[in-house]
Amino acid sequence: MGHLSGEHLYEIFARQKREDRLEHVGTISAPNAALARAYAWQTYDEQKWFEMVVAPRESFEAVNRDEEPFTLGPVEAR
């Protein structure tokens, strides 16, 4: 997906109940944290979330793989 210059990818994590774990629910493109928060909340609004957080993709450190975190590879033949 193409986006305007100055945009960053933000990863969105959320949970529906306090006892749930935060789960990765999606990714949005935004130029700053304020818009990332607004877009995340307004885009992923099918559920009633107990908590939602966003983080810029570049803030994630790869642990076991050399490629960038969140990279989608080609679908492997099953």
Nearer to other proteins, 31 or 69 (CB): 31
**Contact letters for other proteins, residues 13-52 (x by CB under 8 A):** ---------------xxxxxxxxxxxx-xxx-x-------
Number of amino acids touching other proteins (CB under 8 A) = 21
Indicate which single residue of 4, 63, 75, 77 sits in contact with other proteins (rule: CB under 8 A): 4
Least CB distance from residue 4 to other proteins, whole Å? Answer: 6
Of 35, 36, 42, 47, nearest in space to 10 by CA: 36
Of 41, 67, 40, nearest in space to 56 by CA: 40
Structure tokens at 64: 């076991």
HEC-encoded secondary structure of 22-63: CEEEEEEEECCHHHHHHHHHHHCCCCCCCEEEEEEHHHCCCC
Nearer to other proteins, 26 or 69 (CB): 26
Residues that bind other proteins in the complex, under the rule CB under 8 A: 1, 3-4, 6-7, 28-39, 41-43, 45
